[in-house]
Amino acid sequence: MKLLFILDPLDSLKSYKDTSIAIMREAAARGHALYVCEQHDVFLRNEIVKVSTNEFHFSGGETWYQLGKTVEFLPKDFDAILMRKDPPFDNEYLYSTYLLELAANQGTRVINNPASIRSWNEKLSVAKFPQFSPEFLVTSSNDLIREFLNEHKDIIVKPLDGMGGSGIFRLTESDPNIGVILETSTQLGAQTVMAQRYLPEIKLGDKRIIVINGEPLPYALARIPKAGETRGNLAAGATGVAQLLSTRDLEIAKTVGKTLKQEGLFLVGLDIIGEYLTEINVTSPTGMVEIAAQTPCKPAQIFMDALEGSAN
């Protein structure tokens, strides 16, 4: 197959732990042709989508990769385009989904489905599965968040477009900084945020479950917060510990996975704390390398098996 990966700048990626690179290594080992570009390399000339790319090869030298000359292609020249640009989901990311949706309409297979990426906000999408989600509130009103805090006593407030634990606050009724935290989070009532009931099970880890073409991997990566932290994000210093899925994890992942597959969301990361689904990550989910290092499971192999199988 001929595969195009839309990535962040290569020099910004940690090649030893990046999930996109792990998938690319597995694809290269199988003899597939790899190409890379950044989101701004996808463009529209009149009604036709084009993409400016470089052929990619892994290298054992001082740099871990080599690039060929820049070549312009039609997106449909590739067997699949994998959108692996990290959030934030800003206007530039939004425009990329529009261009990639046009490319899909012109015969290109795009993973994940760009229209679904656009419509599945990673925080708000838990509302599609209320049977699995903790109590939550989405608003820009500080007064409503205060009412929610008074009801639940202990809550988490987070932006709808954040990643890696950025902008997340834990609030209790006795916190002396409630006012300034809410003013900052909502930008004085101008920005919509999500408040969720605090789940004390976070101390046991924020479990990342990887779902590939509707099926969950058998292991989750439990991201255990460091001392004094409430955020279970590796970027915030959490420790990743792989563990088998529980019965509840499987119930959530299997149920959600059916809908994800229908929506063309091929690679997704579910976040589960205790018994509850807290986020659905559809942009650039990670965790494959950590799971592969700690268990017999090989996520990149499973991903490529699924990609090759679904292409037939």
CATH, residue 161: 3.30.1490.20
Q: State percent of the chain over pLDDT 90.
A: 90
Confirm whether 60 is domain-assigned: yes
Query: Does one domain contain both 103 and 11?
Result: yes
- Structural domain including 191 reads 136-198
Q: What is the C-alpha to C-alpha distance for residues 186 and 245, in angstroms, rounded to an integer?
A: 36
Query: Does one domain contain both 189 and 207?
Result: no
Query: Does one domain contain both 192 and 268?
Result: no
User: Over the stretch 11-57, which tens digit does the pLDDT of each residue have?
Assistant: 999 999 999 999 999 999 999 999 999 999 999 999 999 999 999 99
- Domain end call among 183, 198, 213: 198
Query: Which residues are designated catalytic?
Result: 123, 158, 208, 223, 231, 271, 279, 281
Sign of the four-CA dihedral 191, 192, 195, 196: negative
Single pTM value for the model: 0.94
CATH, residue 290: 3.30.470.20
pLDDT on residue 216 = 98
Of the listed ranges 60-69, 198-207, 213-222, 284-293, the one predicted with least confidence? 60-69
Query: Does one domain contain both 14 and 97?
Result: yes
Query: Does one domain contain both 163 and 79?
Result: no
Confirm whether 85 is domain-assigned: yes
Q: How confident is residue 163, by pLDDT bands cut at 50, 70 and 90?
A: confident
Q: How confident is residue 312, by pLDDT bands cut at 50, 70 and 90?
A: low
* Average of per-residue pLDDT values in the chain: 95
Counted domains in the chain: 3
Q: Encoding tokens for residue 28?
A: 């290269």
Nearest residue to 74 via CA among 46, 106, 34: 106
Nearest residue to 161 via CA among 65, 282, 257, 255: 282
Average pLDDT over residues 258-262: 98
Q: State percent of the chain over pLDDT 70.
A: 99
